[in-house]
């Protein structure tokens, strides 16, 4: 039996704009999704997923893989995770990448990371219809990436420190709905939306350099600026805005929503000395602190 794990993710900067071809920054987190795969003596595959949502991704991955590589054996796949899909840390992309890698190892195919990414992105698009693939990319490579849609660019940033706090809003975000919302607005107000995406792209590039040089004060200001643009895109919510404002008041370098908007998480860049104060401020306005380590490893076989 093969066991493989892949990490969840956090969008740092550039959400939505990345769907339109602009770069984003994304980091892998230490909440992982585990996939066990083995060949079984049975007439049918056996898929065991505690989270119903994951079974579609596993089923689609398995059928795509079996057809592409002409596999006839029956396979048992079992998943388990360090996190629920509720908080929006990317369990669907992680389970897809981990399943492909487990099958890759099980059948000795020596597929490259790029091939795993391409196939996983294809499968997630089949199911979700929309998306840049940023989550699939970082589940594959791990670390922190500057990413352009479709894997056109996947540059690993060399970071030794990324002092982030994550606050969950208590609301599950509907990512495809918010992607569609932005796409409707884009159709109606193309020039205005393009200007907003371009400003996001400028700050993503600047933030990348500030994060590498550990100039967190400047990077933080860009996080907050990105949040203001996301408000203009119409994807923030009162609870996310309140959590962001509370973090800034408590002394964070910067804060923003993370992901599609409409719920899920916000992130704040915070000096270690102020961590407790900012976390308390987030809790006080109704947010839940999610303890995560960032910049962690990509898809990997477990011992």
Q: How far is the CB of 132 from ligand PMV (least distance, A)?
A: 3
Our finding on whether 29 is near ligand PMV (CB under 6 A) is no
Contact residue for ligand PMV among 102, 179, 250, 282 (CB under 6 A): 179
| CB closest to ligand PMV, residue no | 259
Which of 118/135 has CB closer to ligand PMV?
135
Cβ–Cβ < 8 Å for 220, 251: no
Q: How far is the CB of 202 from ligand PMV (least distance, A)?
A: 17
Phi, psi (degrees; rounded to nearest 5) at 70 = 55, 50
Q: How far is the CB of 294 from ligand PMV (least distance, A)?
A: 14
Q: How far is the CB of 274 from ligand PMV (least distance, A)?
A: 25
Question: Tokens representing 100?
Answer: 């492909």
Phi, psi (degrees; rounded to nearest 5) at 41 = -90, 80
Our finding on whether 15 is near ligand PMV (CB under 6 A) is yes
Cβ–Cβ < 8 Å for 124, 133: yes
Our finding on whether 132 is near ligand PMV (CB under 6 A) is yes
Which segment (14-22, 50-58, 111-119, 162-170) binds ligand PMV by CB under 6 A?
14-22
Beta-strand pair 74-81/46-48: parallel
Contact residue for ligand PMV among 7, 23, 81, 88 (CB under 6 A): 88
Our finding on whether 97 is near ligand PMV (CB under 6 A) is no
Contact residue for ligand PMV among 175, 224, 236, 296 (CB under 6 A): 175
Active site residue 135: yes
Which of 111/269 has CB closer to ligand PMV?
269
Which of 40/152 has CB closer to ligand PMV?
152
Our finding on whether 167 is near ligand PMV (CB under 6 A) is no
Q: Which of residues 48-87 bind ligand PMV (CB under 6 A)?
A: none
CA–CA dist 232, 236 (Å, integer): 8
Which segment (16-24, 36-44, 60-68, 236-244) binds ligand PMV by CB under 6 A?
16-24
Site string for ligand PMV, 249-268 (x = CB under 6 A): ----------xx---x----
Our finding on whether 287 is near ligand PMV (CB under 6 A) is no
Our finding on whether 279 is near ligand PMV (CB under 6 A) is no
DSSP assignment string, the chain: -EEEEEEEEEEEE-TTGGGGT--EEEEEEEEEEEEEEEEESSSS-EEE-SSHHHHHHHHHHHHHHHHHTT--SEEEEEEEESS-GGG-S-HHHHHHHHHHHHHHHHTT----HHHHHHHHHHHHHHHHS----HHHHHHHHBSEEEEEGGGTEEEEP--S---EEEEE-SS---HHHHHHHHHHHHHHSHHHHHHHHHHHHHHHHHHHHHHHTT-HHHHHHHHHHHHHHHHHHT---HHHHHHHHHHHHTT-SEEEEESSSSSSEEEEE--GGGHHHHHHHHHHTT-EEE---BS-B-SEE--
Q: How far is the CB of 11 from ligand PMV (least distance, A)?
A: 5
- Please pick, among 82, 118, 135, 241, the residue that the annotation labels catalytic: 135
Catalytic residues: 135
Site residues (vs ligand PMV, CB under 6 A): 11, 15-16, 18-19, 88, 131-132, 134-135, 173, 175, 179, 259-260, 264
């Amino acid at each position: 039996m093969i066991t493989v794990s892949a990490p969840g993710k956090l969008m740092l900067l550039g959400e939505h704009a990345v769907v339109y071809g602009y770069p984003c920054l994304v980091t892998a987190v230490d909440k992982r999704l585990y996939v066990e795969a083995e060949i079984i003596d049975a007439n049918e595959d056996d898929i065991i997923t505690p989270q119903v949502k994951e079974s579609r991704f596993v089923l689609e991955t398995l059928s795509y893989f079996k057809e592409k590589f002409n596999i006839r054996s029956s396979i048992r796949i079992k998943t388990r995770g360090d996190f629920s899909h509720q908080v929006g840390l990317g369990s669907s992309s992680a389970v897809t990448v981990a399943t492909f890698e487990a099958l890759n190892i099980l059948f000795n195919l020596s597929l490259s990371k790029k091939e795993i990414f391409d196939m996983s992105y294809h499968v997630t698009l089949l199911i979700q219809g929309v998306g840049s693939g940023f989550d699939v990319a970082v589940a594959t490579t791990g670390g922190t990436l500057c990413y352009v849609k479709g894997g056109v660019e996947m540059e690993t940033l060399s970071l030794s420190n990324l002092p982030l706090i994550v606050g969950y809003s208590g609301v599950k975000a509907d990512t495809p709905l918010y992607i569609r919302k932005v796409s409707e607005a884009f159709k109606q107000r193309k020039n205005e939306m393009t200007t907003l995406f371009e400003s996001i792209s400028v700050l993503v590039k600047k933030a990348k350099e500030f994060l590498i040089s550990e100039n967190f004060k400047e990077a933080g200001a860009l996080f907050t600026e990105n949040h203001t643009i996301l408000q203009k895109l119409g994807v923030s919510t009162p609870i996310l805005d309140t959590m962001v404002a509370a973090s800034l008041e408590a002394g964070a370098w910067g804060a923003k929503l993370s992901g599609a908007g409409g719920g899920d998480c916000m992130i704040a860049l915070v000096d270690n000395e102020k961590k407790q104060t900012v976390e308390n401020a987030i809790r006080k306005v109704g947010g839940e602190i999610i303890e995560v380590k960032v910049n962690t490893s990509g898809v990997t076989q477990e011992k």
